Amino acid sequence: MLDIIIRGTLGELGTAILDFYIENVIWINGIILLYALVLMLARKGYNQIKQGVQTELVSQFGEDVFVKSEKNFKKVMERASFDWDALAKQTRMPIISANKSFFFKVKSPDVLKDLFSADKAYALFKQEKQQPEA
């Protein structure tokens, strides 16, 4: 009875999609689970690289670099000399994903420069400093 109501509500196309899903449920859920696992590892790699960028900024400019104004922080980021290849090698994962992103990118120095540009780095570290520590 419930099956008839659901199929009637879905219509012809929805019923076809439901039948396809039921026939391939293991493969579909396996792909989704694998994607979630890869995304989790990519985010872990991103966080390791973020920690490396933070460490480099502290070693080059001191602890007070994160309390500077946005304008001063951007100047600091422009003057900072990062070894993007060394930062990329902090994780063995060939992909990275920002924390709130559902997509990942192939890890390269150019991608890292984009992910940790002055604007994005300021917003990232400002947000991190505002969160209460547990």
In the prediction, which pLDDT does 134 show? Answer: 47
Q: Which residues pair with 106 in a beta bridge?
A: 95
Q: Among residues of the chain, what percentage have pLDDT more than 90?
A: 36
In the prediction, which pLDDT does 63 show? Answer: 81
Residue ranges for the chain with pLDDT beneath 70? 128-134
Half-sphere exposure of 1 (CA within 13 A, CB side): 0
Q: Which residue reads 């192939």 in tokens?
A: 106
In the prediction, which pLDDT does 132 show? Answer: 54
In the prediction, which pLDDT does 126 show? Answer: 77
Q: What are the residue ranges of helices labelled H in the chain?
A: 2-23, 25-61, 70-79, 84-88, 109-115, 118-130
Short-list 97, 98, 68, CA closest to 80? 68
Q: Residue 112 corresponds to which tokens in the numbers above?
A: 């890292």
Short-list 81, 8, 91, CA closest to 48? 91
Short-list 121, 132, 10, CA closest to 70? 121
For the chain, the domains span: 40-130
